[in-house]
Each structure stands twice: as C-alpha cells, then as structure tokens.
Amino acid sequence: MRAVEAVEAVFRIESARIIAGVARLVRDVGIAEELAQDALVAALEQWPRDGVPDNPGAWLMTTARHRAVDLVRRRERYARKLAEVGRDLEAAPHHLDTPADPDDIDDDLLRLVFTACHPVLSAEARIALTLRLVGGLTTPEIARALLVPEATVAQRVVRAKRTLATRNVAFEVPCGPEREARLGSVLEVIYLVFNEGYAATAGDDWLRPGLCEDALRLARVLAGLMPKEPEVHGLAALLELQASRSAARTGPSGEPVLLRDQNRRRWNRMLIRRGFAALARADAVSAGGPGPYVLQAAIAACHAQAYAYEDTDWGRIAALYGVLAARSPSPVVELNRAVAVSMAEGPGPALALVDALADEPALRAYHLLPSVRGDLLARLGRTAEARSEFERAASLARNERERALLLARASDHG
C-alpha cells in the first residue's frame, strides 16, 4: 500500500478515537476535529518521505495530542489546564505509543457520543454531528444515510460545533436524568454508525467492520451503564444479531452476498447467543410494549433462528414490522415490511405496498426502493419492468459493490 493510501485508510479507522482523545484535552469537539485534520496533513507530508510508522494509529494520536498541548500552551487562560494535561501525559505516556486494547472500554469515545448528543442541539444536528465525528462519515455519506440534501448536513454540522463551543458544553458522560434525556439520540446515532459499517453507503467496500465494532462496543458499554433500560438492551441485541452475519455477507472478492444466498454455517453463533441473551434482558426489564430497537432485534432473532432461508418465519416478521410501523412509522420500515409481506403472502400484495411509497420524498433517491420493486416484478414474471427497476437502482447506488450487484441482476433479466 502506498503511503498516501495508508494515511487515508488509517485516518478513516482511527479518526473517531483521535477526535475523542483530543476533545478530552481541549474541551471543544470542533477544535478537536481540526487538530485531527492537522495530524492527517502532517502524515501526508511525512509518511511518503519517511515511511509509514510501525504503529500509524498511535503516530496520528500522538501528533494530534501534541498539537492540542501546543494550542493550550498558547492560550494563557488555559494555563491551569495545561498543567493538568502535562501531568496526564507524563503519567501515561504508553497510551500514545502502544496500540489500544480492543477489549478496553473507550471512555473518550463514549464521552464524544454523549457530548455530540447534548440537548442544546436539535435532534437532526446531534445525529449529523455524531455520524461525522464518531462514524467518520463524509457529508455525502451522512446525507445518504439520513435521506437529506448534502447542503443541509453541512449546515447542521457547522452549527452544531459552534453551538457546543459557545454554550461551553462539558465533554463527559452525564449521570442520572441528564443521561436518560440524551439516551434516545445516543441509541439512534450508534445504530446509524453500525448501519454505515454494515452496508456502506458509498465507496469500494460493502462492509466497514471498524464502524460495526465501534458501534457494538458502545452498545455493550451502554447496556452496562443503563441495565434497566429495555431499549438499550434491544439495541445491543439487534447489533449482536446483525453482526453475527458479517462473515457470510461478502464473497471471496468482497462482493455482496444476499441473505437468501448466505452460508449460515458462517454466521457467528457466539454473537447470536449474545443477541438472544440481550433480547431476554430487554424483555425482563420492559414495563410496557416493546420499543423500536426491541422489535427490530426480535425480527433479527427470527432470521437467526432459521437454519435455512426456507425455514424463516416470514409471517411473524411481517407482523413484527407491522407493530414497528405503528410504533415508529417511516417509509424505510414500510419498505422492509413490504419485503416480509412478499415472502409471507406473495409478490402481488407486496407490490401494492411498494407502489404506495413511490411518492415519498425521503425515498426519491433511495436505491433500495427500485431494487425491491424490481425483485417483486421479476417474481411476477414482468421481466422487462424488473430490468428497468434494477438499472434505476444501480444508477442511484453509490457503493460500487452494490451497484455491480444491481447491474448483474438487471443483466439476468435482459
């Protein structure tokens, strides 16, 4: 791998931890992101000349933190904080030079999530900022994930960072009622980060395992912090069960493998057991009906319980999607319900559900809408229409692997 490619790859993996570690020092996520970018620029200048360091992630973290200390030193009003930072760095220099323990709880990352989800920000701004800082997503990727224009995302991120700075929001994991008040946003952004890792919206890779691992770790930490919250366990269960399929979701060349074609012997049974256990904990502490994450985890559990695609209880899945649509209505949920209905009742009833979504503004550029419609049309024998829908889906897809899959499906119906 060339040095420039190495810099870009490492920064994409490590950027969230670098921003989180620096934010703990400077107490400003906007400045922390700028300092992380400074470290990236330094790497782009030095690595092609000097070679890629043995521990590139630690190199970037060290460089960013040194710049943070320099910044604090230049500001007289932070003199006392500088002394604290200096003592921290002297007391634990190994943190800068050794790889992070993958089993260690990344407190800085959790602080970053809760800070980005502070109630001084709008719900939309919290999601966009966390996807940017924690997920490392670009503005186009966030826009794709949220089904909104890119300009809207850019404005939300800039305003969110400015608001956190001007309101002097503390960089911390809050306690008690304040933690509970931010929980909904925190769960949502962790879920969205996982989804971006599970099926990348753009780029050459179908999966981004680092994002899945970060989201799964954060969900597990939250489950320990808030053991009486059923939706926290529901999210943990959902991510464990979804992650269990990761090894089977790509072929030898990295191409996507659809659910019906996956080798279920490659599903991770340990993660499935963890998912079932988390779902049981959610049920045990639930005082009312299941929330959205518990319902989605129950759907994932139906898939995990089926040892073959033909054994899937599609009737139950369709019913669960119906409850989810009532509890948390969205066009995407309705599209997923249509897929389940197609398997339980046939493509005809499902096509009517999909056609009812045709004018949904949020799905106008969503490639999975024509993809699902193409599949239903193919099953109904309407081959030419199916091919047209797969071609339209491919034109909307921004992930190269997914686009190739859709074009292949269009060709199959030529």
pLDDT in tens, 372-413: 999 999 999 999 999 999 999 999 988 888 899 999 999 987
What is the percentage of the chain residues whose pLDDT exceeds 90?
Answer: 41
Name the pLDDT band for 240 (thresholds 50, 70, 90): very high
Condensed to tens digits (0 to 9), the pLDDT of residues 126-155 reads: 888 988 887 777 888 788 777 788 999 999
Identify the helix (H) or strand (E) that includes residue 386: helix 383-396
Name the pLDDT band for 78 (thresholds 50, 70, 90): very low
Strands 398-399 and 202-203: parallel
- φ, ψ dihedrals at 339, nearest 5°: -60, -45
- Contact in structure between 46 and 131 (CB atoms under 8 Å): no
Q: What pLDDT is stored for residue 90 in this prediction? A: 54
Q: Assess whether pLDDT exceeds 70 at residue 251.
A: yes
Mean pLDDT of the chain: 85
Which residues make Cβ contacts (< 8 Å) with residue 176, sequence separation at least 6? none
What is the percentage of the chain residues whose pLDDT exceeds 70?
Answer: 90
Condensed to tens digits (0 to 9), the pLDDT of residues 320-356 reads: 999 999 999 999 999 999 999 999 999 999 999 999 9
- Contact in structure between 117 and 28 (CB atoms under 8 Å): no
Q: What pLDDT is stored for residue 325 in this prediction? A: 94
Question: Distance (Å, rounded) from C-alpha 252 to C-alpha 193?
Answer: 25
Q: What pLDDT is stored for residue 288 in this prediction? A: 82
Q: Assess whether pLDDT exceeds 50 at residue 102.
A: no
Name the pLDDT band for 46 (thresholds 50, 70, 90): confident
Please give the structure tokens belonging to residue 47: 């690595």
Amino acid present at 43: A
Q: What pLDDT is stored for residue 96 in this prediction? A: 40
Please give the structure tokens belonging to residue 242: 């979804």
Q: Assess whether pLDDT exceeds 60 at residue 80.
A: no
Comparison of pLDDT for 365 and 93, the residue scoring more:
365
What are the distances in angstroms from CA 279 to CA 178, 276, 298?
25, 5, 8
Condensed to tens digits (0 to 9), the pLDDT of residues 163-208 reads: 998 998 888 888 888 888 888 888 988 888 888 788 766 655 657 7
Whole-prediction pTM: 0.73
